[in-house]
Amino acid sequence: MIALGADHGGFLLKEAIKNYLATENIAYKDFGTFDEASIDYAPIAANVAHSIINGEAERGILCCGTGIGMSIAANKVQGIRASVCTNAFCTEMTRRHNNANILCLGGRVIDEKQAVEFAKIFLETDFDGGRHQRRVDEISAIERGEL
């Protein structure tokens, strides 16, 4: 299951991604927002991040104006590796090398077509493991105060 969330700035991207997931029969849960009215992003980012940590969702996609606020908020949850991506290459690499579990996108940075393209890449790309696992483990060590 994929956890989705957006504030007003990312609402249209989230809706485009939701339509893509539905077309592909990929299960998702929409944590809001449900319209373009102004709303704070941190609670939505927290809900999506906690759904991943609690095992309810495999991965998440968060959208706001730039993707930056959502990524900062989501990364406060231990075990989350949320990345802002603005192109296909970064989206692929964040999965292959960083094992990112949340993709963050900006509605004022990319368009709906790109959002769907990046979501597809994010969901279809596996983590390479190997030497990259050691680096991901080091990120976890930072969270635990060990590095």
DSSP secondary structure, 61-98, as one string? EEEESSSHHHHHHHTTSTT--EEE-SSHHHHHHHHHTT
Kindly name the residue from 63, 85, 90, 97 that is annotated as catalytic: 97
Examine the residue annotation and report whether 64 is marked as an active-site residue of this protein: yes
So what's the pLDDT on residue 103? 99
Kindly name the residue from 8, 50, 63, 64 that is annotated as catalytic: 64
> Whole-number mean pLDDT of the chain?
97
So what's the pLDDT on residue 55? 98
Summarize pLDDT for 26-50 with one digit per residue, the tens: 999 999 999 999 999 999 999 999 9
Examine the residue annotation and report whether 85 is marked as an active-site residue of this protein: no
Domains along the chain with CATH numbers: 2-143 (3.40.1400.10)
Q: What is the pTM of this model?
A: 0.97
| C-alpha distance across the termini of the chain, in Å | 32
Summarize pLDDT for 103-141 with one digit per residue, the tens: 999 999 999 999 999 999 999 999 999 999 999 999 999
DSSP state of 9: T
